[in-house]
Structure formats: structure tokens, C-alpha cells
Structure 1
Amino acid sequence: MARLGAVIAAVAGAAALALLPAGAASAHDYLVSSTPAANSTVTEPVPSVTLTFDDIVLDEGGHGALVQVTDASGRNFETDCASVNGRSVTAPVALGAPGSYRVTWQVVSADGHPVSDSMQFNYQGPKAGGGHDGPLAKCGKAVRAPAAQSKGAQGGGAEQSASVSPTVIVIISVAGGVVVLAIVAVLLVILLGGRKRKAGEE
């Protein structure tokens, strides 16, 4: 019985460890919506760009978020630094000529890790500003869009980085836990069956 208990405890511990990465991986903030919406076409004036995440964004003393809004030529159109309000990050803008605009961000997620990504939208409204070369110096270092991107699963269609999504990691972790629990069941059947055969022989 002592050996059986030790085996069960060891395998149960392995199952618990297999499930741990799911919680850690899902801690990074990810974009759930934006205004303007990703891949949308906007015909009205756009005074600001707002990004909403699944969890709070850390303000870091007013420097917890960097947002750049650029046209196809790389010219910037944000007019001030981005502000953080709970799960939302907003950057005031004065967009230029109609065309495609890219929103690139870097935020500090609720778990303290920086998260960066980007999305695009099409602007067909009136020209509100001429833009400027490069980001605003007072807002911190420039942020760069991830080198590898794939179309996101969220309704807005935001582009996501090439890293594995938290949902996939959760599924893999849970599947691993189920496999480990199945191994526990098999071991119990083998050990208990052996004990019964031994008792019968005696």
C-alpha cells in the first residue's frame, strides 16, 4: 500500500505540473477590440485610436503604453502620448490623406510583461493633419510591429504575433493532464490486479 500511495502521489504531482503552464501563458494581455476596428473602413473623422485588452494594462507612471499610427509611407499621425484607463489604451490622432493606416502598440500587461502587436484600418475621411516624421520623442522609444504576423481570431481581425495563443496552450495543457490521469488509472489497474493475483496465490 505504501508503494501504491507513492506512485499515485508522484503521478498526481506530474498532472498538476502539466496544468500549470496554462495559467501562466494566459496571463499576457491580448487585444479584444479597437476603435477603429481592425481591417475596417472608416469614413468619419477619427480623433483618437482606442485599443481594448482582455485585462488591465499597467500604467507604469504614465509610460505603460506606446502607440504609433502610421500611413503607408511610415509617417506618424499620433498627436500626443497614449493614455491608459483600465483595459483601454487611447492615443489622440489627426489623420492625413485617405488610405491605409497601421496602429502599432506596446503595452505592459497585467502580469508585468511587455506585449506588442499591430493592426490596420482603411481611412476614407477628411484630412485632419499632415503628420510628422517619426514618433513623438516625449512618448518614449518607437515600437515596431512584430516581424511575423497572422490574422487574429478576434472579431476585429487584429493581427497577432507568431507566438502560440493562450487558448491553444490551455488546450494542450489540459490534454496533457488528461493523458497523465489516464496513466494513473492504468497504473492503478495494474497494481491492484497484481495485488489480487498475489492474494489468490496465497
Structure 2
Amino acid sequence: MRRFAAAAVLACLAFVGLATPALAHNSLVESNPRDKASVEVSPDSITLTFDQPVQPGDGINTISVLDPQNNHWEAAPPQVDSSTVSAPLRPLGPSGEYKIAWRILSADGHPVQGQLSFTLSKAGNGTPLPADELAKFKNGAGAAQSDTSEDSGGVPTWVWIVGAVLVLGVGIVFALRMGGKDEEA
């Protein structure tokens, strides 16, 4: 019986020892401009700050800025610097609400997306991104790409669960076999 108890304790320790920290998606903690802010002058860029580092990846991390007529205003693909993602903007044009749609590759390997908005209270004199440049962005060069990728490169959670169950199962089988030999002796 002592061997069974020892084997059970070892199996539990192995289970706990192999456990990984909970994998969680990144969360947006700050933006510039802030969500629902009102600005008088066009910002030079959009900056998003997350609670964990963002994984770099061409065409995966995107920031799109749309005016009330759904014209795009991003000037270049976003840049990732640890937990900060930023993208330059073209000088904005009409006043009104602008939507910021973003997608990033989270620290756990899964894509995360969201949307913010800000209001330009005074019209600027900028022009939106031309359609031919927008097509270049959509072909893998930048922020306006909208299709989502399921192949995130991260290890799925179910793999860890199956592995832990197998280790626990082997420990229990080992403990039961050792327990039977102990009683016979």
C-alpha cells in the first residue's frame, strides 16, 4: 500500500510539474488616440499597447483606420515593438467618427482582434489611401488585410491536456501494478 501511495504522489507531482501556465490572449491596455476620444488635429499614427508581447508576423498584425465613408487612412503596415503595435496614418480628411480595426498575433499564438473609434472634430485636408495601394496592403503587404488565419503556430491546449492525462494514467497504472506486488510479498 505504501508503494501505491508513493506512486500516486509521484504521479500527482509529475502532473503538476508538467502543467504550464495558463495561456491567455493578449488584452489591449492602452491606445493613442484613446477609444471614443475627440481630437481636433489628425494623429500621426495609431499606437496600441497590450498586456503581453505581440508576436511579429507579416500580414498577421494589422491596423486599419476607416472614416465615415469607409475610406482607409493607414499609411504603412504596423510595426511591432514588444507589447506595442503602431502604424503611421495619412493626414486625415473629413471630420467625423473614425474606426480603428486591429488584429494581432497574441503571445499564446492565437489571433486577437478588436475595434476602437475616435472622432476628428475639425476636418483636415488629407486624402484617403488610393484603391491601388489598398490592394497592395491586402496582398500581404499591410494593415488592410482582413482574412483570419487559423494556423497561428501555437501549441493547442488540447495537446497539453491529452499529455497530462496520459502521464497521469501511466502513473496510476504503474501504482496499481506496484501495489499488487507489494501485497503479494
Relative to the length of structure 2, the TM-score reads 0.61
Question: 2:46, 2:86 within 8 Å by CA — same for their partners in 1?
Answer: yes
For 1:125 and 1:88, the matched residues in 2 are separated by 28
8 A contact 1:35–1:49 mirrored in 2: yes
Counterpart residue number, 2:96: 99
List aligned pairs for 1:1-150, cutoff 5 A: 1-10=2-11, 20=20, 23-26=21-24, 28-60=25-57, 62-93=58-89, 94-132=91-129, 136-139=134-137, 140=140, 142-143=145-146
Residue segments in structure 1 that go unaligned for 5+ positions in a row: 146-202
Q: Equivalent pairs: percent with the same residue?
A: 30
Q: Which amino acid aligns with 2:61?
A: A
Query: Using a 3 Å threshold, how does the CA distance of structure 1 residues 59 and 7 change in structure 2: closer, same or farther?
Result: closer
2:126 and 2:13 map into 1 onto residues whose CA distance is 62
Structure 2: segments with no counterpart, 5+ residues? 149-185
- Paired amino acid for 1:45: S
Indicate if the aligned counterparts of 1:50 and 1:90 stay in contact, CA closer than 8 A.
yes
User: Letter of the aligned partner of 2:64 in structure 1?
Assistant: Q
Q: How many residues align?
A: 140
Once the 2 structures are TM-superposed, how far is the Cα of residue 5 of structure 1 from its aligned partner?
Answer: 3.1
Check the 8 A contact 2:67/2:99 in 1, yes or no. Answer: yes
